[in-house]
Amino acid sequence: MKRGILIGIAGASGSGKTLVAQNIYKKLGSDKVVLIQEDSYYKDLSNIPFNARVGRNFDHPDAFDHDHLYQQVNDLLEGKSISHPIYDYTTHCRSKNVQEVGPHKVIFLEGILVLSDARLRDLMDIKVFVSTDPDICFIRRLNRDITERGRDVASVIKQYMDTVRPMYIQFIEPSKRHADIIIPEGGENRVAIDILTTKIKFLLSDIEDT
């Protein structure tokens, strides 16, 4: 029997997915909630030269190790601990270090393609899509990649035009049809955050009473 609650949060890069999860996290309490990010499960590219890694399409489903992600999410839901991978965005390689994550009652799974994988969807109690204007998403991504991931403006723009935008149209936006809830404006939508938090508390009360 499933012992945890899984909330899937999808949307474009820079849409505010993480902020949605963090705002609910604050309301529910850190002892009950863990955030798992799909980005941590990028396939390790250490076996190919750095210049070849940079040119990879990181917004295609094949860029992710969804088999490993599915297994670890399933383990968390069953009350097991996992060795969560750590990904280095500056080198496009998986770190040799891992983070030990214990079981939590509520698991947020956040990522651009988490609603595109049928196996992951089948595990989810609530499926959320964060819908934000593309220009806002691009500005946020530009700022993040420059300040946090060591990229320059030209490379961010090229990646956005070559892969990010086309993959959003092909894979991410169509996954919206699987969502139970669509949140405009991301984590700034306080009404949607409150409604979602209330629903999660209701589900949480059910498993705590059993």
**How confident is the model over 129-171, as pLDDT tens digits?**
999 999 999 999 999 889 988 888 998 999 899 999 999 999 9
pLDDT at 10 over 60: yes
Q: What pLDDT was estimated at residue 1?
A: 45
15 in the Ramachandran plot: left (φ > 0), alpha (ψ -120 to 50) or beta? alpha
Residue 108 has which token pair?
A: 């947020």
pLDDT score of 29: 74
In the predicted model, what is the mean pLDDT of the chain? 91
Using 50, 70 and 90 to split pLDDT, how confident is the model at 209? low
Say if residue 16 is exposed, middle or buried (CB neighbours under 10 Å; 0-12, 13-18, 19+). buried
Q: Which residues pair with 20 in a beta bridge?
A: none
Domain spans, the chain: 5-194
Architecture of the CATH domain 5-194: 3-Layer(aba) Sandwich (3.40)
2 pLDDT exceeds 70?
A: no
Backbone angles phi, psi at 141, to 5 degrees: -65, -40
Give the whole-angstrom CA distance, residue 81 versus residue 77.
10
- Quote the pLDDT of residue 119: 97
Max mean pLDDT among 107-111, 148-152, 183-187 falls in: 107-111
Q: For position 204, what pLDDT does the model report?
A: 86
Are the C-beta atoms of residues 45 and 161 closer than 8 Å to each other? no
DSSP helix/strand/coil, 57: coil
CA distance 73 to 38: 11
